[in-house]
Structure 1
Amino acid sequence: MPAPTALLRRPEEVAEVAANVPLPVEDQDDELLLDAPDAVPSEISAIQTADGDTEMAIDEEGRPRFAPAKNTDGPRRVETRKVPIPPHRLSPLKAAWPKLYPPLVEHLKLQVRMNTKNKAVELRSSKHTTDPGALQKGEDFVKAFSLGFDVEDAIALLRLDDLYIETFEVKDVKTLQGDHLSRAIGRIAGKDGKTKFAIENASRTRVVLADSKIHILGGFKNIGIAREAIVSLILGSPPGKVYGNLRTVASRMKERF
């Protein structure tokens, strides 16, 4: 059955009818937006305040261009830190306090207080503190002293940025108890501390033996050298073999530098 003639139209008639049909509201808006002339002025316009100062400038593409920020010292937030001190380090803290607080006050511009009641050293920043990392450096310095390092060695944490403290226990390497644990600690220390001093001099680190805990202060690679020597002694290696390995490592470090 042939289709009705009213439904059959030529392409020219279809295009003419489509042009006369009104568009929906949304399509009209899109067409207006697409055909709208460029409303952004070609010249750069600026918004001025009542005082006449220029706040923002708009370029040719309509993007704002802000003036460089001014270096103004705004109000700083006061932060505090509390570093707990072990009971066995309170007496050394009181004795070394005249040498402990000057680097914190004069170099880092911090406010320091020794709170004997709470057994802690309290640090606080102030308006005179210029270094944003001063509070963290001061906490690391006091914490290093609380672990058993000398004040002269702990001051290196304030002057150098690539120093770290690593702490581990003998049982982390090997489970030892009783006399076996005591002999392992004795092998690390050596007679009159000679083995510990040899490790420190060869690896350029500082080692603290606090019962079964071992604290190492130094650079990342240097800590690895000292830790390897101490682990060998804990596992039962004779000191003579460890000395030989330290000599080899020390000679390589001298050649490198």
Structure 2
Amino acid sequence: MPAPTALLRRPEDLAEAQATPLPQDNGDDDIMVDATVTAASGQQNTQVQSRDAEMRIDEEGRPKFPPAKEVARKHIAETRKVLIPPHRITPLKSAWPKMYPPLVEHLKLQVRMNVKARAVEMRTSKFTTDSGALQKGEDFVKAFSLGFDVDDAIALLRLDDLYIETFEVKDVKTLNGEHLGRAIGRIAGKDGKTKFAIENASRTRVVLADQKIHILGGFRNIHIAREAICSLILGSPPGKVYGNLRTVASRMKERF
């Protein structure tokens, strides 16, 4: 019985079958891998590994990142001009060697005293790092122009929770003539003892400039000093005000 023709292979058929290429399957299961894709994925993996290496976790499980790199920013000069009252020009000249070092060395500002314009001019420089340096410098110079000492005004540069409040005697009660003078005298006291007592009890600084009263201190401390001064303006005897200040001072000591 002869063999099936399908199983018979001639030498020419075998050579032709080996020469013809195999058909490619275009099915969805096959994934073509490109060299560029492989290189990009490897680069992303290295970036992720480098980020993971940079990030560290402290004892409490919080991530710790390295400090950000400094980016060069375009410098824009800003200026401020603080006018000085005529009666504070002479104290400004005498205290100027003590005033400009904090502004120049601490805040990195450019400062000059314009005697002709009776003003202190300030300007930011490329060395200024604090965004609020110009405002702090203006508050410092304004505090001195209102009558505060340089040592008290410097506290505005070092502390952030200090404020200045200004009000007049007429804002509390309308007084004229001798009544106004007696009210101011009650606030100051003999040789300024009442004013010093208010400052020590409330931990503030008080300046009496004619009918205006300036208070430098924290928010709560300003409230305590203002209540004592308003009581004196309204006619309370100093002895009663001293008693209230002792009570308030003892409460403040217990609080702190």
Q: TM-score range by the shorter chain?
A: 0.7 to 0.9
Aligned position for 1:143: 142
**TM (normalized to structure 2)?**
0.73
User: Percent sequence identity over matched residues?
Assistant: 85
Amino acid at match of 2:247: T
What does the per-residue CA deviation read over 1:59-95, in whole Å, with 9 as the maximum and x for residues that have no partner? xxxxxxxxxx964121121000000000000000001
Amino acid at match of 1:227: R
Please state whether the residue corresponding to 1:121 is helix, strand or coil: strand
Distance 1:179 1:89 in 2: 27
Amino acid at match of 1:246: L
Distance 2:178 2:98 in 1: 38
Distance 2:101 2:208 in 1: 27
Distance 1:126 1:211 in 2: 38
- What pairs up with 1:17-36 in 2 under 5 angstroms? none
Distance 1:96 1:178 in 2: 35
Please state whether the residue corresponding to 1:157 is helix, strand or coil: helix
Aligned position for 1:89: 88
Amino acid at match of 1:238: P
Question: Greater helix percent: which structure?
Answer: 2
Distance 1:95 1:88 in 2: 13
The root-mean-square deviation of aligned C-alpha atoms, in Å, is 1.1
Aligned position for 2:196: 197
Runs of at least 4 residues off by over 3 Å? none
Distance 1:153 1:86 in 2: 19
Aligned position for 2:230: 231
Aligned position for 1:178: 177
Please state whether the residue corresponding to 1:155 is helix, strand or coil: helix
Aligned residues: 190
Amino acid at match of 2:209: A
- What pairs up with 1:44-193 in 2 under 5 angstroms? 71-193=70-192
In our comparison, the structure showing a higher alpha carbon Rg is: 2
Amino acid at match of 2:238: P
Please state whether the residue corresponding to 1:255 is helix, strand or coil: helix
What does the per-residue CA deviation read over 1:129-163, in whole Å, with 9 as the maximum and x for residues that have no partner? 01000000000000000000000000000000000
1:240 aligns with 2:244: no
Please state whether the residue corresponding to 1:114 is helix, strand or coil: strand
Aligned position for 1:212: 211
Amino acid at match of 1:159: R
What does the per-residue CA deviation read over 1:159-194, in whole Å, with 9 as the maximum and x for residues that have no partner? 000000000000000000111000000000000000
**TM (normalized to structure 1)?**
0.73
Please state whether the residue corresponding to 1:72 is helix, strand or coil: coil
Distance 1:70 1:102 in 2: 30
What does the per-residue CA deviation read over 1:182-208, in whole Å, with 9 as the maximum and x for residues that have no partner? 000000000000000000000000000
Aligned position for 1:8: none
What does the per-residue CA deviation read over 1:94-146, in whole Å, with 9 as the maximum and x for residues that have no partner? 01000010100000000000001111000000001010000000000000000
Kindly state the Cα deviation for residue 232 of structure 1 after the two structures are TM-superposed.
0.1
Distance 2:211 2:189 in 1: 15
Distance 2:163 2:101 in 1: 22
Distance 1:118 1:170 in 2: 31
Distance 1:206 1:104 in 2: 22
Please state whether the residue corresponding to 2:215 is helix, strand or coil: strand
Please state whether the residue corresponding to 2:125 is helix, strand or coil: coil
What does the per-residue CA deviation read over 1:3-38, in whole Å, with 9 as the maximum and x for residues that have no partner? xxxxxxxxxxxxxxxxxxxxxxxxxxxxxxxxxxxx
Please state whether the residue corresponding to 2:214 is helix, strand or coil: strand
Distance 1:97 1:124 in 2: 17
Please state whether the residue corresponding to 1:236 is helix, strand or coil: coil
Distance 2:128 2:78 in 1: 11
Please state whether the residue corresponding to 2:246 is helix, strand or coil: helix
